[in-house]
Chain A
Amino acid sequence: MTKVLVVDDSNSIRDMVSFTLKSAGYETVEAKDGQEGLSKAKSSNFDLVISDVNMPNMDGISLCTELRKLVNFKFTPILMLTTESSAEMKMRGKSAGATGWLVKPFNPEKLLATIKRVVK
């Protein structure tokens, strides 16, 4: 089963992403900020990471940079869930090694359609 790590500081967004993915048959693990996400990533393998950008403790961009340093996450798709759709934000994501971005507002159908571009 495709296993997804969902990182977001907002309970409701995290629940929704997780719920949507589960209803489409994915397995999910949740983390409430970058720090927790990183430690969960270190203890398990994931096929996909979906992370918010603005979070306390460790933001999504730093999480992405840290994940790319891990051998297991060298090629793992990492998608940033962001409301900031500016080109600058996307460049920051890219240079940190993010695979792509999902622009909020969160839309379940779009999420499921777009993640097909990076995972089974």
Chain B
Amino acid sequence: MTVDLSQFIPSFLEESFEGLELMESELLNLKEGDNETIHSIFRAAHSIKGGAGTFGFDKVTEFTHLVETLLDEMRDGRREITSKDTEILLESVDCMRLLIEAARDDDNYDHDKVEQTTSRLAETLGDEPSSDSDNQSENIVAASNVCGYTINFIPEHSLAKTGNDPLFIFNALAELGQLTLSADCNDLPALVDIDPQELYLSWQLTLYTDVGEAEIREIFEWVEDECLLELVPIADTSNTSQDIEVLAPEEEPQSQSTTTNQEQLASTQNASSAIAGAKESTAEDTNIPATAKDKDKAKAKADVGSIRVGVDKIDNLINLVGELVITQSMLSELGNDFDMDKVDRLTSGLEQLLQNTKELQESVMRIRMLPISFAFNRFPRLVHDLAIKTGKKMELVIKGEQTELDKTVMEQIGDPLVHLVRNAADHGIESCEVRLAKGKPEKGTISLDAYHQGGNIVIEVKDDGAGIDRQVVLDKAVEKGLIEADAILTESQVYDLLFEPGFSTAAEVTDISGRGVGMDVVKRNIQSLGGRIQVESTLGKGSCFRVHLPLTLAILDGQLVKVGSETYIIPLIAIVESLQIDNKLINRVSGDMVLYRLRDDNVPILPIYQLFNLATKCTEIDKALLVVVEADGQKIGLMVDDLLAQQQVVIKSLKDNYQQVAGISGATILGDGSVAMILDIPGIIHMALAQAQHAQREKTDGNASVTAEVCL
């Protein structure tokens, strides 16, 4: 029968990547004499090798074999653990990852890197990797003129104690051909001397078959060390020109005479035949990868998108669903025969339903939450590598790794964080000499921290390095034409320049960072997740990049606002404050610009009814309410008719259900069943600025017809 194992590939892959991560983190912690760590690294490699072989991922098996050999030497204490070896092993982990990913996607991989690492591994091991293709030919025995074998099988008395039973062996032999056998009871002691746990019989079997000697010996594979086993080919008499000696080179002619003697176990013939047998069985073993390869062609594709959820979370859900069912049955019973006496019970039932739903929602959301350690655990290796590349000394401190974050957010925050850490290592941390000269500890520290703040998660990437020199940033910005030479900028505006496309303050470009590609991408990625990034820095003391992210992308805390007959939702995270407009603070500048003086700031006012072309009675600025929102460091006042409730809303994609609309980031369904649009604050600010500039330009061009719909 054939058993299709391809369904197990995804779980093997998941396990392998976990294994690789474990190998990596343990390697980074590896110290001389730490046997437990070496063992667990070895086990991980070992499992990967075993699984890869099964699915025919031969490259993975081959490569991992070398890694395993090296680890094995370390494990047995045959090799000292040097930092050089650890480096090679870390590189090997990368290669294994490459190879597994390539096998998974049925794709190509970086051959040079793998080959380089392979040769370094081989060099370390002190020999060339053995190719397993050349040792198959020698076992081929021409079976053309053999029609069967006479088998002498004399087991040791203790054979049964290892769980072997000759009967099953004979059954297996009988499947190969026509089997006849006779038992030899000569060794059977007197009844009183019989130990019921011992085996006293031996057998002579005759098997007529067309299979080779190797296959017959294989059946005896597990008992060959515990028995005397002889195979004598039976010549096919129908074929006249046969030559037995040539066909069975391992068989000594005189061996037949020694069959029934137990003492012969120790004889040299037996030893040599056992060795021959062992040789064959090893040869047999090396054949297996080839067959496995043929059978398991099926490949599993990468992103099955599974998630591991703790049993406690599931139990909690089941519990809540149970309560929901109880509430539902209570309510439906109330509804069966309703009169006004039951209003109190109905109200409390509905209350309970609300509670259940809320808890259920929270629990379901929690399923998508994973500890941020999933995103953090790649950094020890990164910092380790960066320290070697830059020649600086640095350590990584990770805090708050148990802070939970939505899986989707987690997947997308990884790359921006890598960028920030690279920057910290490359630009932030100074070289040892500089640090010592400044009276700082020789070793720099980069710290990663995550914590919850309100409905957000905050991730900090901090270093105790040189800090950001504002003057250098300003000079560079002027040089690049990003700002005017005489511009006066606030501290945060200066740091915002770092996120401009093409901006780099690094004196020289290194291969780690400094090409100026990236910080703008970092900011964009964070913004697309609905988050923002803040920079704090003290010259000479270090910098801190603080990323604020929503906990989840599926639910949003929103402020409902009324404009005309429509309800809109403003993400709470974007709102700075909401206020009643005070006429005295309105400042109409030239053209259609309306500014509102908010303490030290002048905030442009943007009436939403104009933006979306709505009919509303509330068109006068002083009768409306102003919701001041902020994005990209830019504040704007949204003019609305009324503020309604604040509530959590489930985000529905507008793009999936309709199409992308400028100024709208999504939609949601409100309690009364109506649809409300969620405002895209950065988008609206961008639109408003663009229109204002457009208006400005038309004006300066001397064009009298100002078409700006937006007063900015």
Q: Which residues in A have some Cβ–Cβ distance to B below 8 Å?
A: 9-13, 15-16, 19-20, 23-24, 54-56, 68, 74-78, 83, 85, 87, 90-91, 94, 97-101, 103-110, 112, 116-120
Contacts and interface: CB of A to CB of B under 8 A. Distances in A.
A106 B164 contact: no
Contacts of B400: none
Contacts of B172: 116-117
A116 B12 CA distance: 27
Nearest to A112: B1
A10 B1 contact: no
A29 to B, nearest CB: 18
Given A12-B51, A54-B43, A74 B288 contact: no
B61 interface: yes
B47 A109 contact: no
A96 B637 CA distance: 79
A12 B15 contact: yes
Contacts of B548: none
A118 B163 contact: yes
Given A87-B278, A119-B168, A24 B50 contact: no
B584 interface: no
Interface string B254-287: 0000000000000000000000001000100100
Contacts of A55: 43
Contacts of A54: 42-43, 46-47
Contacts of A107: 54, 288, 291-292, 295
Interface string B153-188: 000000011111100110110010000000000000
9 contacts: A11-B11, A16-B54, A54-B43, A75-B165, A77-B164, A77-B165, A100-B222, A105-B52, A105-B288
B225 interface: yes
Given A12-B12, A85-B285, A116-B171, A97 B163 contact: yes
Contacts of B221: 100
B40 A103 contact: no
A106 B163 contact: no
A55 B54 CA distance: 19
Instruction: In the A-B complex, list the 9 residue pairs whose CB atoms are closest, starting with the nearest.
Output: A105-B53, A100-B222, A99-B163, A108-B3, A77-B163, A12-B12, A104-B50, A105-B54, A10-B47
B5 interface: yes
Contacts of B50: 10, 13, 83, 104-106
A78 B282 contact: no
B532 interface: no
A97 B163 CA distance: 8
Nearest to A105: B53
A10 B162 CA distance: 26
A104 B53 contact: yes
Nearest to A48: B163
Contacts of A120: 168
Contacts of B164: 77, 99-100, 118
A103 B285 contact: yes
A99 B220 CA distance: 11
A105 B61 contact: yes
Contacts of A12: 8, 11-12, 15, 51
With a 10 A CB-CB cut-off, give which of B47, B221, B295 has the most chain A CB atoms: B47
B669 interface: no
A103 B3 contact: no
B354 interface: no
B288 A13 contact: no
Interface in B1-48: 1-3, 5, 8, 11-12, 15, 40, 42-43, 46-47
A27 B53 CA distance: 26
B3 A20 contact: yes
Contacts of B292: 105, 107
Nearest to A118: B168
Contacts of A94: 162, 225-226
Contact of B222 (A13, A101, A109, A119): A101
A16 B8 CA distance: 7
A108 B47 contact: no
A10 B51 contact: yes
A23 B8 CA distance: 14
B540 interface: no
A94 to B, nearest CB: 6
A87 B285 CA distance: 12
A120 B165 CA distance: 11
Given A10-B50, A99-B222, A108 B163 contact: no
Nearest to A90: B225
Given A16-B5, A23-B3, 4 more contacts: A54-B42, A75-B160, A107-B54, A109-B295
B212 interface: no
Nearest to A104: B50
A56 B282 CA distance: 27
Contacts of B5: 16, 19-20, 108
Nearest to A113: B172
A19 B2 CA distance: 12
Contacts of A20: 3, 5
A46 to B, nearest CB: 11
B161 A117 contact: no
B392 interface: no
A103 B282 CA distance: 10
B219 interface: yes
A78 to B, nearest CB: 6
Nearest to B282: A85
B49 interface: yes
Contact of A11 (B15, B54, B226, B291): B15
Contacts of B291: 107
Interface in B468-526: none
Contacts of A11: 11, 15
B289 interface: yes
Contacts of B289: 105
Most B-side CB within 10 Å, residue of A9, A19, A77, A106: A106
Given A9-B47, A94-B162, A56 B40 contact: yes
Nearest to B173: A117
A119 B165 CA distance: 9
